Structure 1
Amino acid sequence: MRINGRDYTRRQLAERAGDLAAVGGVRAVVLDDGTERGIRALEFRTGGGLRFEVLVDRAMDIGVVEFDDLTVGWRSSTGFRHPGLHEHHDESGLSWLRSLSGFIVTGGLDHTLFGDTVDAADYHYPPKTSVRHGLHGRIANIPARLTGYGEQWTGDRCVLWAEGEVRQAAVFGEHLVLRRRIEADLGGTEIRLHDTVVNAGFERTPHMFLYHINVGWPLLDEGARVEADVERTAWTSDSVREQGVSHEVMPAPVPHFVEQVYEHVLRPAQDGRNRVRVVNDALGRSLEVDFGQEEFPHFFEWLNLRSGGYAVGLEPSTHAVAGDAAARRDGTMTWLEHGDERAYRTVFRFRRAQPPA
């Protein structure tokens, strides 16, 4: 392990600190004020400059992320709102925007993208002819059952970890389970996210999945760049043509900015994985998101450069921007039978610029 520029063995760390928390670790806390009150969280500190919080009661999504004391994860005005305050169908399905904050907000498990009303015949319950979905589905506002967390040693390597299970279920409806494991190495500068979604029910069930990965100030700032190997851009929102703001080099905050959204077709590396980066040369820091092309064949870039809401979103997705009903019509919807599962492996790397030779 490399701590403060020096390599240590497990024994050497133990000689210097009776409690590993002097270096890093995982600590359980409860947020206790305002709309966040009552949310269980796990605070990770790697000792390598990386600190982040796993919001157990918000699907084990990642809220705060700081690297070398610089905020990376977007902190919106909503805060990390307690899921008990959420009203799924409020504001014509846009109430999800009242809890959109943090580094990762998960979309799914049976619906992503804009709200829709779709057929419910597969649930075989005559009074339920359709299902109404809000923006990006329900999963982000469901508390997890925390199954474990801590520090795991293998020789001189220590892995900080947490595991939980998020169940999205309804009588005469879907029964999907998200099993989530989050890891970071002691002394390290990356987060590994391992997700598995399984159909625990006995009805054929649709599955859609998306990560809303949100980068905020100061990593996002005027001159910061979004780097990706884009083969072509398949779709853009009308605001792209109307405003014409670059999706590659970011401006300073723009008053009254209207979100710009892009669906990019990425060119994966030889290992079948995509790597998208946000780079701030002035700070000498960057974030890289590493995800599999087969797991997430679609990718959206979300620019919310409005004053007071300044963020850029990187969104690996299982489905195209046209959404739920379109995926059912064109045959691209993912259907899970009982016991079927899908696995997703994603890595977030936080980097410092190499000093000049």
Structure 2
Amino acid sequence: MNRLFLARHAGDTSAAGGVRAVVLDDGPERGIRALEFRTGAGLNFDVLVDRALDLGTAEFRGDGFGWRSATGFRHPGLHDYADDDGLSIMRSFSGLLLTAGLDHTLFGAEVDASNYRYPPKETVKNGLHGRVGNIPARLHGYGERWEDDDTCVLWAEGEVRQAAIFGEHLRLTRRVEATVGTSEIRLIDVVRNAGFDPTPHMYLYHVNIGWPFLAEGARYELPLQETIWQTDSVAEQGVSNVVMPGPQKGFVEQVYEHVLKPDADGKARPRLVNEELGVFFELEYDTAQFPAFFQWLHLREGAYAVGFEPSTHHVQGAQAARDDGSMIWLGPGEERRYTTTFRVGTL
């Protein structure tokens, strides 16, 4: 298929694939703007404009791979960041991608705020995985673009502002792309300090795969160099992190920090393989941009998921990063760029 072929057979590119703007209209999701992507190669996914342009529902040839939890895609207006003693993100945790940041990731922490030079604000209290995932984006645009007669790119772009007076002013510009006729999603993120105070920056992608891609017998494949940390639940439960069991009664999450071997191009490509369905999911990320990686197993009945988590920081978190000098401090106008690919296919 090329541009001329499509023009001869259909009056609109959407006959082959496209992007459609919709608004979710029921329950806790009501009012969320979303963009429905169809690549024409069996890949369909939603970009949640009002949830930091994160990725929600995702399917390949009719089988879901983006995790669907009981929370649904809750409207950010219902979100209380201080709820549940810093674990409020658990009330809106669903979908293929939850972005964590922009100034904090990992477990909650109360840290020094003297960099903002406001005496009444001595500290900043952060909850699990930060604020950005529940901030609506300003949508710059979306649509289909022919790069040449053979390549049509579906795209969406917007900006997420995380800002406070006497606090951080960070802006995430996110571009999502998918080429018609292919089964991969490209994410291009730029995080910039739009303020005038040095500001901490931490960033993590919580990429979540659910049923039916995740099922008993599915394999979690890693280019593993070594495992440098794991939760106590690993030894207590003894559940494999390679061959997945079915849903487990009372399962306690198992989390690992791994060092992955990059290819010659500096990319790591962990994947989940389901031989029964004959499909795989693969995450491709730059290990220079994300030097840490977490494997998340949440195999409990009713909340059955596995996670791929490339991260700018190690498991010890915000205070440890400040103490050992590994915290990223963005100066005024300084920015970081992240390029990541989500790929599905058949075996």
TM-score range, shorter chain: over 0.9
Identity of aligned residues (%): 63
Counterpart of 1:108 in structure 2 is 101
Counterpart of 2:58 in structure 1 is 65
Give me the whole-angstrom Cα distance separating, in 2, the residues matched to 1:211 and 1:154: 29
Is 1:184 matched up with 2:178? Answer: yes
Amino acid in structure 2 at the alignment position of 1:133: N
Give me the whole-angstrom Cα distance separating, in 2, the residues matched to 1:256 and 1:288: 28
Counterpart of 2:118 in structure 1 is 125
Amino acid in structure 2 at the alignment position of 1:145: R
Give me the whole-angstrom Cα distance separating, in 2, the residues matched to 1:155 and 1:113: 42
How much is the aligned-residue C-alpha RMSD, in angstroms? 0.5
Residue of structure 2 aligned with 1:154, choices 147, 150, 156: 147
Aligned residue pairs, count:
346
Is 1:264 matched up with 2:264? Answer: no
Amino acid in structure 1 at the alignment position of 2:250: H
Counterpart of 1:5 in structure 2 is none
In structure 2, the residue corresponding to 1:290 is in which secondary structure? strand
CA deviation after TM superposition for structure 1 residue 167, in Å: 0.3
Unaligned runs of 5+ in 1: 1-7
Amino acid in structure 2 at the alignment position of 1:267: K
- Within a 5 Å distance, the mapping from 1:276-295 to structure 2 comes to 276-295=270-289
In structure 1, the residue corresponding to 2:35 is in which secondary structure? strand
Residue of structure 1 aligned with 2:216, choices 206, 222, 238: 222
Is 1:45 matched up with 2:21? Answer: no
Counterpart of 2:67 in structure 1 is 74
Give me the whole-angstrom Cα distance separating, in 2, the residues matched to 1:58 and 1:12: 37
TM-score when normalising by structure 2: 0.99
CA deviation after TM superposition for structure 1 residue 286, in Å: 0.3
Is 1:172 matched up with 2:166? Answer: yes
Give me the whole-angstrom Cα distance separating, in 2, the residues matched to 1:271 and 1:18: 41
TM-score when normalising by structure 1: 0.96
Is 1:251 matched up with 2:240? Answer: no
Amino acid in structure 2 at the alignment position of 1:291: Y
CA deviation after TM superposition for structure 1 residue 175, in Å: 0.3
Give me the whole-angstrom Cα distance separating, in 1, the residues matched to 2:77 and 2:156: 23
Q: Segments of 4+ in structure 1 off by > 4 A?
A: none
Unaligned runs of 5+ in 2: none
Is 1:234 matched up with 2:231? Answer: no
Give me the whole-angstrom Cα distance separating, in 2, the residues matched to 1:73 and 1:343: 24
Give me the whole-angstrom Cα distance separating, in 2, the residues matched to 1:350 and 1:232: 26
Give me the whole-angstrom Cα distance separating, in 2, the residues matched to 1:100 and 1:194: 22
In structure 2, the residue corresponding to 1:215 is in which secondary structure? strand
Give me the whole-angstrom Cα distance separating, in 1, the residues matched to 2:76 and 2:140: 20
Counterpart of 2:16 in structure 1 is 23
CA deviation after TM superposition for structure 1 residue 133, in Å: 0.3
**Deviation readout 1:245-303 (Å, 9 max, x if unpaired):** 01111000001100000000111111111001010011000011000010000000000
Residue of structure 2 aligned with 1:317, choices 302, 311, 324: 311
Give me the whole-angstrom Cα distance separating, in 2, the residues matched to 1:9 and 1:192: 21
CA deviation after TM superposition for structure 1 residue 341, in Å: 0.4
**Deviation readout 1:191-237 (Å, 9 max, x if unpaired):** 00000000000000000000000000000000001111111100000
Counterpart of 1:4 in structure 2 is none
Give me the whole-angstrom Cα distance separating, in 1, the residues matched to 2:62 and 2:7: 26
Amino acid in structure 2 at the alignment position of 1:118: V
